[in-house]
Structure 1
């Protein structure tokens, strides 16, 4: 099966499992020699670079002071995303979250789950411990929460991603009524970086 066939549109849970099995050996970052006369002295890294994270909507009935920024410390550093948001109500399985990955070349898939159910995933818990001040105990009381120095896609994320450019849409909404609480968008560029070997 080719990598192209490992991508599905509007996946359900069964198709996601199939997708994971199909592309389990893919990695988020590759390093190899440039195939030219500079091979012995030049290396190239292909990786995802996150850009333009922004909140496009925040519902004042449920959240406030939602801010997000993507940047880097210097020209040679990786890009990081930092986020802060204040919730005005307790959030548990009364709230669901979804992430949609849209390939700019066409094709997308979406995964959604209740908030406390998400926090049962080991990779999510590890990610939150490393990049936030959010306690992994759910439900969460009202308060201000931060996510810092986040790399997209997370290095421990089990969802494989084909080497391409993406739009990312992260949404939070009330589980019962589907009323939107917040919506964040970002983009991922698959870029090459060359450097001289030491």
Structure 2
């Protein structure tokens, strides 16, 4: 056996033993709360966050609601990001505003998870809705986010005037490593 063949065999063995580590960044969303609900539009709404197991780092959000009216682009969802600083939440510079149907059908950040659980029509007819296992897709999480802990406030308004629902959810930017 020649010296060159021996070094190639050692390199092949080293490649087989090497472990590739990949870091994945994600939003951990916990402690959701609906603190205002106009029952003329939405009879009830419930939001929960849970993990599927100890080894699964992701929190999955479930939404259950019954509406009295059809929800269309006459409703607007306003997202306000607050940063957790000095034991209090301070409003950040990130805001997102979407017409309801545009959010569900076109948005990749928040709407993609809701789209899986809703019909592909707009406006959404009145009735009962159950949205399960929603997360922000990993590929949509920006590599650099301006803060690591915070809270997202969500206001649903009709015709950009009257608030129909107000809620919040705590978030933390985390990362986990996978070995391949």
TM-score normalised to the size of structure 1? 0.64
**Mapped partners of 2:138, 2:26: distance in 1:** 11
Residue 155 of structure 1, aligned match among 114, 123, 138: 138
Residue 113 of structure 2, aligned match among 121, 124, 127: 127
The answer for the alignment partner of 1:51 in structure 2 is: 30
1:1-198 matches, within 5 Å, as: 46-77=25-56, 78-105=58-85, 106=90, 107-119=92-104, 121=106, 123=108, 126-130=112-116, 132=117, 134-151=118-135, 153-155=136-138, 157=140, 162=145, 164-175=148-159, 178-193=161-176
**Mapped partners of 1:118, 1:46: distance in 2:** 23
5+ residue gaps in structure 2? 1-18
Displacement of 1:191 in angstroms is 3.3
Displacement of 1:96 in angstroms is 1.2
Displacement of 1:119 in angstroms is 4.4
SS at match of 1:127: helix
User: What whole-Å deviation, never above 9, does each CA across 1:44-89 have from its counterpart, x for those lacking one?
Assistant: 6553211101211111111022111101122111211111111101
Displacement of 1:182 in angstroms is 0.9
Displacement of 1:117 in angstroms is 3.5
TM-score normalised to the size of structure 2? 0.70
Which of these two proteins has the greater Rg computed from alpha carbons?
Answer: 2
**Shift in alpha-carbon separation, 1:148–1:164, aligned structure 2, 3 A:** same
SS at match of 2:101: helix
The answer for the alignment partner of 2:11 in structure 1 is: none
**Shift in alpha-carbon separation, 1:143–1:170, aligned structure 2, 3 A:** same
**Shift in alpha-carbon separation, 1:160–1:169, aligned structure 2, 3 A:** farther
SS at match of 1:104: strand
Cα RMSD, aligned residues only? 3.1
Greater strand share, structure number: 2
**Mapped partners of 1:193, 1:159: distance in 2:** 15
